Amino acid sequence: MFAYVVRRVLATIPVMAIVALFVFSLLYIAPGDPAAVIAGDQATPQDVERIRASLGLDRPFLVRFGEWVWNILRGDMGVSIFTNLPVTTMIQQRIEPTLSLMILTLCLAVSIAVPMGVVAAWKQGSWIDRAVMGFAVLGFSVPVFVVGYVLAYIFALELDWLPVQGYTKFEEGFFPWLENLILPAIALGGVYIALIARITRATMLEVLQQDYIRTARAKGAGQTSILFLHALKNAAVPIVTVIGIGIALLIGGAVVTESVFAIPGLGRLTVDAILRRDYPVIQGVVLLFSFVYVLVNLLIDLLYTLFDPRIRY
């Protein structure tokens, strides 16, 4: 197992290298010019040229790429073209809100979706099942920003229960932290709940047909025990897989959610950087997201062994 983990961690290095090359190349060939954005609309072409030169954007691809890789290897992600702040500082400023949002969404989604899927499978064909599936379709279909606006309208504007925007650090208290994040987490969690609930239901339906479930019933096991101990554990592998894949959904959804609720997270940082062509920031954030995604996949693979002892690495 240990050797496997080491192998997988080492395997992230070529993956990250490919991601780095891909991102850098893509940005190099993509249209757009940060110098033009910096110079402003009234600037002359000569001003734009001078700014481009001062940023080193007029140098050849290989020189810039080599310099960037060398800096990355030394732990230096560079400096934002616009803010003049180190990319690592900007990521540090933004990582807590995004992590908080993703963790809360994950907890919320799993704690709601898994029981929903289990109950829907148990009551297959009943109104409960239809209601769960109806919710799943709705969760998939309604865009995150629509859910966000509706929630903000009801809970912030109408009821005045929760703030509509911003983020309070966890260190300033759990409840202030939760106040700011609960609406975004619900908005972002809709798609995720729908996805997990559907997969849980489908997998549970299959598992519930198995002989060992009949055996459990025959020996007098209770319904709760059958559903959550016997069936759910055996259905866990695909569910955990979907939860892992869904992290990518969360990362994408966080961009919209952070914008709607004005949360200063990595999603907004990414969008702002892309619109301004702030290359060092884009490269840094994409590398970070890639790394997180690779790690999440590793974690999911390791979790398989917990749920299915037959799996060995």
Contacts for 2 with CB less than 8 Å, ≥ 6 apart: none
At position 253, the amino acid (one-letter code) is: G
Tell me, rounded to whole angstroms, the distance of Cα 150 from its chain centroid.
22
Among 14, 45, 60, 75, binds another protein (CB under 8 A): 45
* Residues of span 127-166 touching another protein by CB under 8 A: 143, 145-146, 149-150, 152-153, 156-166
Among 19, 20, 23, 39, binds another protein (CB under 8 A): 39
Our finding on whether 96 is near another protein (CB under 8 A) is: no
DSSP at 226 = I
Orientation of helix 61-73 relative to helix 2-29, angle to 10°: 150
d(CA 204, CA 120): 9
Our finding on whether 174 is near another protein (CB under 8 A) is: no
DSSP 214-273: HHHHHTT--HHIIIIIIIHHHHHHHHHHHHHHHHHHHHHHHHHHHHHTT--SHHHHHHHH
Contact characters 179-208, another protein, x per CB under 8 A: xx----------------------------
The smaller minimum CB distance to another protein, of residues 190 and 246, is found at: 190
* Residues of span 72-91 touching another protein by CB under 8 A: 80, 82-85, 90
Number of residues that bind another protein (CB under 8 A): 65
Stretch in the footprint of another protein (CB under 8 A) among 124-132, 186-194, 239-247, 257-265: 257-265
Contacts for 291 with CB less than 8 Å, ≥ 6 apart: 12, 16
The residue with tokens 């966080």 is 254
Among 138, 275, 299, 311, binds another protein (CB under 8 A): 275
Percent of the chain as helix, strand, coil, to the nearest 5:
80, 0, 20
Contacts for 67 with CB less than 8 Å, ≥ 6 apart: none
Beta bridge partners, 284, equal none
Residue 246's nearest CA partner among 285, 203, 191 is: 191
The tally of CA atoms less than 13 A away on the side-chain side of residue 173 is: 4
Our finding on whether 288 is near another protein (CB under 8 A) is: no
What is the nearest approach in angstroms of another protein to the Cβ of residue 260? 5
Our finding on whether 209 is near another protein (CB under 8 A) is: no
Stretch in the footprint of another protein (CB under 8 A) among 194-202, 208-216, 254-262, 283-291: 254-262
What is the nearest approach in angstroms of another protein to the Cβ of residue 114? 27
The smaller minimum CB distance to another protein, of residues 148 and 246, is found at: 148
d(CA 175, CA 232): 32
Our finding on whether 50 is near another protein (CB under 8 A) is: yes
Q: What are phi and psi of 297, to 5 degrees?
A: -65, -40
The smaller minimum CB distance to another protein, of residues 230 and 276, is found at: 276
What is the nearest approach in angstroms of another protein to the Cβ of residue 160? 5
The smaller minimum CB distance to another protein, of residues 34 and 246, is found at: 34
Contact 185, 104 (CB under 8 A): yes
Our finding on whether 33 is near another protein (CB under 8 A) is: yes
Contact 264, 94 (CB under 8 A): yes
- Residues within the interface to another protein (CB under 8 A): 31-34, 36-48, 50-51, 53-54, 80, 82-85, 90, 93-94, 143, 145-146, 149-150, 152-153, 156-166, 168, 175-176, 179-180, 259-262, 264, 268-269, 271-272, 275-278
